[in-house]
Structure 1
Amino acid sequence: MNIGISTFVWVSPFSTASFDVLRKVKDIGYDVVEIAVEYRDLIDWAALKRICRDLALNITVSGAFGMDRDISSERPEIRANGLSYIIDCLEIASELESPVFGGPLYSAVGKTRLVSEAQKRQERQWCLENLHQAARRAEALGVTLALEPLNRFETDMVNTVDQAIELVDEVGSERLKILLDTFHSNIEEKNIPKSITKLGGRLVHVQANENDRGTPGTGHLDWIGICDALRAIGYRGSLVIETFGEPSKELARAASIWRPLAASADELAEEGFAFLKKTF
């Protein structure tokens, strides 16, 4: 399995001015850098691809789903903007030769409400309509959409593996799979290794995060069980650390990041890599 790390660990939003992070990622020993696309116009994509190729770094692409990128919104212009953003990111992923574009595709991060069953059904229908369109574009580009369940404090739509499977299977596209983030799973799943086994071939990407989003290996997650389950299903994707060193105000609010999660981003990256390399 390839081991990767997200640009979110060091900076938000990632931009051309942040390209020094790429050398850090390589020097530590990572195989993959995950590019978080908050604002596409901040990044010189041709230069990014060239630098990563020179460094022999593979790329994966992840999204940032603010309230204006919600494909299940009541407002049609927001749904349209969310779909446009997903398609833009799929095209970026294709250009960068990323096998996946991942994130909570279905809604906005931080959208948590108690709503009626009728409203839930309507929002789910809007979500499905847009996921069908996004999946068709993914099929044309040869990139896999990776839908990520979030914990109950960050979304009210998809919290568990079971909910993600139901949504993905309803769309029924080979280019719509599931991303598992172990931080969210620690809150929502009874048993993370069993949830991995249930996902089987639907699992296309893993964000390997500690229970508090700090350095992997310093908390209470069952990493050996997770490793065994991934091997049992024949997982061949990446393991990517995604935590937030200097989140923007919007990101900090959505993900409830109120304190430093390690002594420094560099320390988290170095120690996290050493732990994942040893364990996996």
Structure 2
Amino acid sequence: MDVRIGMDMRLWGDNPGVEQLPVLEMLAAQGYEGVEIPVCGQGSSALKLLRVALDNLDFDVTTSTRLPPAANPVSSDPAERQAALDFLRARLDESAILGSTVLSGGLFQSQGVFTGKPPTDREWEWSRQCLRAAAEYAAGMGISLALEFQCRFDAHLINTAADAARMCRDIGLGNVGVLYNTFHAHLEEFNPARALPAAGEQLLHVRLSESHRGELGRGQVQWQETFATLDFLDYRGWLVVQALAVGSGTASPENIWRDNFDSREQLSADAIRLIRQILRIQRQ
């Protein structure tokens, strides 16, 4: 298993910029090889400054985003579906500025927006059309889309690795794959040994997130089983540590009301230590 270890910068806020240079330097010193940056309309000037800082640290970058309620690929309103495509194209432009090769997230629908009914074939087709158009746009930039299946509290269209893999196959483009997030898998899948193979050849990106969104190894995620299955599948890609904290403003769609860690610095240090320990045991 040839992997690289990154950190999701959302632990330090949803709009990271060059002011986070001390954090980036700390992560580099801890041994991280890259970061995942949320793109949300920061502006090209701010993103260009951030890229200079990342290049100076020899950090590679992946990006993430989430669709707002008014830009929903599965909306019955054609204007909202078009807004979703426009939103994704704008985030891809920002990803290109940062030098990202992967844009990830629940790109198939707006997070936390529900109809109160199970997903329909029409919603599936609307989402597929939007994602295919976005992927065609992304291909011209050398960027892939990683679709994060999400738990039933965040989304209703795609809740499992098998669902996400099916959407990738229906889109039918080589730059669309599955994002496997251990947090969502913990809630929706039977176990990693069954869920990860369901992603199959579409597995593109992995986020390591604890069952309580806090410090890795202090929750209920099956870490040994997850890594063993990734090794069996010969996964080659990013392992991005994801933890979330209480925001300073309004609550994010994840509804994080408490910090499940002692400090952000300690969390990132302990996370990379845990990952390296498990990888070392596997290689013995």
TM-score, structure 1 length as denominator? 0.92
1:78 to 77, 80, 84: 80
Aligned length, in residue pairs: 277
Q: Which of 38-47 and 61-70 deviates more?
A: 38-47
Deviations 1:241-275 (A, max 9, x none): 1222243655x352121111212222211211211
Deviations 1:72-91 (A, max 9, x none): 22233322222122122223
Show structure 2 runs of 5+ residues with no match: 280-284
Cα distance in 2, alignment partners of residues 22 and 204 from structure 1:
24
Q: Secondary structure at the match of 2:140?
A: helix
2:110 maps to what in 1? 108
Q: Secondary structure at the match of 1:126?
A: helix
Show structure 1 runs of 5+ residues with no match: none
2:204 maps to what in 1? 204
Q: Which amino acid aligns with 1:193?
A: A
Kept after mapping to 1: 8 A contact 2:210/2:218:
yes
2:100 maps to what in 1? 98
Q: Which amino acid aligns with 2:127?
A: C
Q: CA deviation at 1:95?
A: 3.5
Cα distance in 1, alignment partners of residues 79 and 266 from structure 2:
42
Kept after mapping to 1: 8 A contact 2:41/2:91:
no
Q: Which amino acid aligns with 2:129?
A: E
Q: CA deviation at 1:276?
A: 1.4
**Relative contact order, higher structure (CA 8 A, sep 6+):** 1
Kept after mapping to 2: 8 A contact 1:16/1:43:
no
Deviations 1:104-129 (A, max 9, x none): 01111112342266xx2322222111
Q: Which amino acid aligns with 2:117?
A: V
Q: Which amino acid aligns with 2:70?
A: D
Cα distance in 2, alignment partners of residues 68 and 230 from structure 1:
36
Q: CA deviation at 1:43?
A: 6.3
1:165 maps to what in 2? 165
Cα distance in 1, alignment partners of residues 44 and 261 from structure 2:
27
1:268 maps to what in 2? 267
Q: Which of 143-152 and 42-51 deviates more?
A: 42-51
Q: Which amino acid aligns with 1:233?
A: L
Deviations 1:27-77 (A, max 9, x none): 222111110112332861222111111111111111122213322222333
Q: Secondary structure at the match of 1:5?
A: strand
Kept after mapping to 2: 8 A contact 1:15/1:42:
no
Q: Secondary structure at the match of 2:215?
A: coil
Q: Secondary structure at the match of 2:239?
A: strand
- The Cα RMSD (Å) is 1.9
Cα distance in 2, alignment partners of residues 22 and 76 from structure 1:
41
Cα distance in 2, alignment partners of residues 158 and 44 from structure 1:
33
Cα distance in 2, alignment partners of residues 69 and 242 from structure 1:
25
2:282 maps to what in 1? none
Cα distance in 2, alignment partners of residues 241 and 134 from structure 1:
26
Percent identical? 26
Distance 1:5-1:83 versus aligned 2 partners, 3 A rule: same
